[in-house]
């Protein structure tokens, strides 16, 4: 079981597509979406994350999602765990291992305590039971747990099986600067890319998020590597207004899925309740954003 550090770059966070009327899993759209990710050259994929609505899926659906992705693309995969408790996380990791096998680049486990000793104990228990490499997700909006960067460093300092960190506790720039200075682990930003430029400047290894135009994340990260901050800024600005539009609290998921639908990557933009559907009042503006970005993409290719 590998516990190699995650490769830098862009990890796409995969949406879980549903049919609009029944909310059943739409495997055709899922296949199309991950093929697109592979085609544009992402480093890997994150499946069953928050944006993948994993908390809305039952066990069989999770298995189906994993199977469809594994069968469709050759990319390395990170699989998210939804639970905060040690025993159910282990159960989730085992399912991922069973389906994904050697392709599992890591299992993403949420911070479940602001006490470094307790958090380290949780992560160790998960690793010891499964052998899996662990990507630690610090996302207080979802977990309800706020840990400061110093405590997170203390928790992770001696855990060789931690293969990456996803830093989603604002201000992420400060957290990433601390984590990358103190830990020898790649740290990725998320949150739809709203802070991507600053996170790269702070030392992040790239982006791990579900922005509907991952081409923009790739353009930015590649430009940063090759040309530094100014190049990255130039590459990312054409996407940034959509990034901000997408990353609106409570409705981000519905916006993103509708953007993906407009791109013909999904058949429908449905999100499972209780997540909010797309407000009618945003539809025109969403179209403007998608059109503008698509025009930019057409020109820049």
Q: Which residues bind its own copies (CB under 8 A)?
A: 53, 55-59, 61, 83-88, 90-91, 112-113, 115, 118-119, 121-122, 144, 170-171, 173-174, 177-178, 181, 194-195, 197-198, 201-202, 229-230, 233, 236-238, 240-241, 244-245, 248-251, 272-274, 279, 281-282, 284-285, 288, 292
105: helix, coil or strand? strand
Burial of residue 7, with CB atoms counted within 10 A of its CB: 0-12 exposed, 13-18 middle, 19 or more buried: middle
Question: What is the smallest separation between the CB atom of 44 and its own copies, expressed in angstroms?
Answer: 26
The total number of residues shown for the chain amounts to: 301
Give the nearest distance from C-beta 160 to its own copies in angstroms.
21
Q: To the nearest whole angstrom, how small is the minimum distance from the Cβ of residue 195 to its own copies?
A: 6
CB of 57 to its own copies, least distance (A): 6
- Is the separation of the CB atoms in 110 and 137 below 8 Å? yes
Please identify, using beta-carbon distances, which residue of 59 and 226 lies nearer to its own copies. 59
Query: Which CB sits closer to its own copies, 27 or 198?
Result: 198
| 278 secondary structure, DSSP code | P
Minimal distance in Å, beta carbon 38 to its own copies?
A: 28
Q: How far is the CB of 229 from its own copies (least distance, A)?
A: 5
Minimum distance from residue 262 beta carbon to its own copies (Å)? 16
Q: What does the alpha-carbon distance between residue 19 and residue 42 come to, in Å, rounded to a whole number?
A: 26
Assign 3-class secondary structure to 160-227.
CCEEEEEECCCCHHHHHHHHHHHCCCCEEECHHHCCHHHHHHCCCCEEEECCCCHHHHHHHHHHHHHH
Measured from the CB atom, is 41 or 144 closer to its own copies?
144
Tell me whether residue 58 or residue 74 sits nearer to its own copies (CB atom).
58
**Is residue 68 helix, strand or coil?**
helix
- The residues, ordered by sequence, that sit 6+ positions from 259 with a Cβ below 8 Å of its Cβ are 212, 213, 242, 246, 286, 289, 290
What backbone phi and psi angles, to 5 degrees, belong to 248?
A: -90, 135
Our CB check for its own copies shows the closer of 244 and 300 to be 244
> Which lies closer to its own copies via its Cβ, residue 2 or residue 64?
64
**Burial status of residue 87 (CB atoms within 10 A of its CB: 0-12, 13-18, 19 or more):** exposed
Considering beta carbons, is residue 28 or 279 the nearer one to its own copies?
279
Tokens of 40: 């544009």
């Amino acid at each position: 079981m590998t516990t190699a550090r995650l490769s830098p770059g862009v990890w796409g966070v995969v949406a879980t597509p549903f049919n609009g009327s029944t909310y059943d899993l739409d495997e055709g759209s899922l296949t199309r979406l991950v093929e697109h990710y592979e085609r544009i050259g992402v480093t890997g994929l994150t499946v069953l994350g928050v944006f993948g609505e994993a908390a809305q899926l039952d066990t069989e659906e999770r298995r189906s999602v994993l199977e469809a992705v594994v069968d469709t693309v050759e990319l390395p995969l990170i699989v998210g765990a939804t639970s905060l408790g040690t025993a159910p996380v282990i159960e989730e990791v085992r399912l991922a291992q069973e389906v994904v096998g050697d392709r599992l680049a890591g299992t993403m486990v949420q911070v479940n305590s602001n006490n470094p000793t307790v958090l380290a104990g949780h992560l160790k228990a998960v690793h010891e039971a499964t052998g899996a490499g662990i990507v630690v997700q610090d996302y207080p909006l979802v977990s309800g747990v706020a840990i400061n960067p110093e405590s997170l460093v203390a928790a992770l300092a001696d855990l060789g099986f931690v293969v990456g960190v996803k830093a989603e506790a604002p201000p992420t720039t400060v957290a990433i600067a601390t984590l990358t200075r103190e830990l020898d682990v790649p740290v990725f930003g998320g949150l739809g890319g709203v802070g991507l430029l600053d996170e790269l400047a702070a030392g992040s290894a790239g982006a791990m998020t579900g922005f509907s135009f991952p081409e923009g994340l790739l353009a930015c990260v590649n430009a940063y590597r090759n040309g530094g901050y100014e190049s990255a800024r130039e590459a990312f600005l054409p996407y940034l207004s959509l990034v901000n539009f997408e990353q609106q609290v409570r409705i981000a998921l519905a916006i993103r899925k509708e953007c993906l639908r407009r791109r013909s990557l999904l058949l429908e933009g449905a999100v499972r309740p209780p997540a909010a559907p797309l407000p009618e009042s945003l539809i025109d503006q969403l179209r403007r954003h998608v059109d503008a970005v698509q025009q930019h993409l057409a020109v820049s290719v």
